[in-house]
A and B are shown apart, each in its own frame.
Chain A
Amino acid sequence: MVLIFGGAYQGKTAFAQRAFGLSPEEIYTCSENEQPSFSYKAIDSFHEFIFECAKSGTDPSEFIISHFDDIKGKIIIMDDVCSGLVPMGAVNRLYRKYAGKSMQLLMGYADEAYRVFCGIGERLK
């Protein structure tokens, strides 16, 4: 599994496309009220799924652990949302906590991990 993360608007998806030769059709983008689909090579905006989990108070760690076999071999792209001020709302605070925990879990599973900064992808693992 490959983990690609970084702040919002850093060019993470474009980096994933460049580095792994992905076409847009091979990327699933997470959106509200949906579980990620694992029939694509890459799962983008994984933080949106985590936000959904925060809304319902469900720890995404359980989902990640139970879908370990589905996640193997995938490219997961997500925003790092853990380096800002403490959010005002309880849901956003839970979102931040879940995102950090999920990123640590995924980082543990990952064979390769990259942080993207200003369009520049740097390999951390």
Chain B
Amino acid sequence: MLALILGGASSGKSMFAQILIKKLSYENNGDLFYLATMVPVDDEDRLRVQKHVDERSGWGFASIEEGYNLGNCISKVSSGGSVLFDSVTSYVQNALFSGHPSVASMGSEDIAQSILNISKACSNMAVVSDYIFSDAERHSAEVENYRKTMGQVHQMIAHEAGLVIECAYGFAIAHKNTANYPLGNIAGELQAASVNSGSELR
């Protein structure tokens, strides 16, 4: 199953994705992978990466770090595996702003396709991204193009996904669940994991 999980900063989207992908990997007894697309450039980034690594410790994830050429990841994931893709946000950022030759000329469709290609090489994938489309700031053309690309990539992934979740307002809202995934299975763990933030499943 392919799932797209969106939300704003600190909306609980990463925890939702972690619980979901772990459950999915249990269900088919496959390997668990964490695909990190952020390329750390300074100490602040490295600290953030370490925080995420610590949060995942003991969950059984094998980490793959690849910010540019997602094609390199196809051979690293197993066909029965479950992949947590974190995140569209940083991958689109790399594609539009890094100038790295693997991604420099990619448009929305190429970006979405390179992500979807990984989902085809494994059994389950949870794709995490940020919802950055509802502010009143009038952005520069460069930033506006980033938001547009993100929006288009999200729509293309959502179209293929069996589950589309929005983490917001203290809830995880299912906008699409054509996979008929029993979300009740996640509710208990999500609540236990987020007692402090009071998140619920709706």
Contacts and interface: CB of A to CB of B under 8 A. Distances in A.
Interface of A: 6-11, 51, 79-85, 87-88, 92-93, 95-96, 99, 117-120, 122
Given A119-B155, A119-B158, A120-B175, A93 B136 contact: yes
A8 B133 contact: yes
Contacts of A9: 133, 147-148, 150-152, 155
Interface of B: 4, 6, 8, 131-138, 147-148, 150-152, 154-155, 157-159, 164, 166, 175-176
Contacts, number: 73
22 contacts: A6-B133, A7-B131, A8-B151, A9-B147, A9-B148, A9-B151, A9-B152, A9-B155, A51-B138, A80-B133, A82-B134, A84-B132, A84-B134, A84-B137, A85-B135, A85-B137, A87-B135, A87-B136, A93-B136, A117-B164, A117-B166, A118-B154
Nearest to A84: B135
A87 B139 CA distance: 11
Greatest chain B CB density within 10 A among A9, A81, A120 is at A9
B138 A92 contact: yes
A118 B158 contact: yes
B152 to A, nearest CB: 6
B135 A117 contact: no
B147 A120 contact: no
Contact of A120 (B132, B136, B138, B176): B176
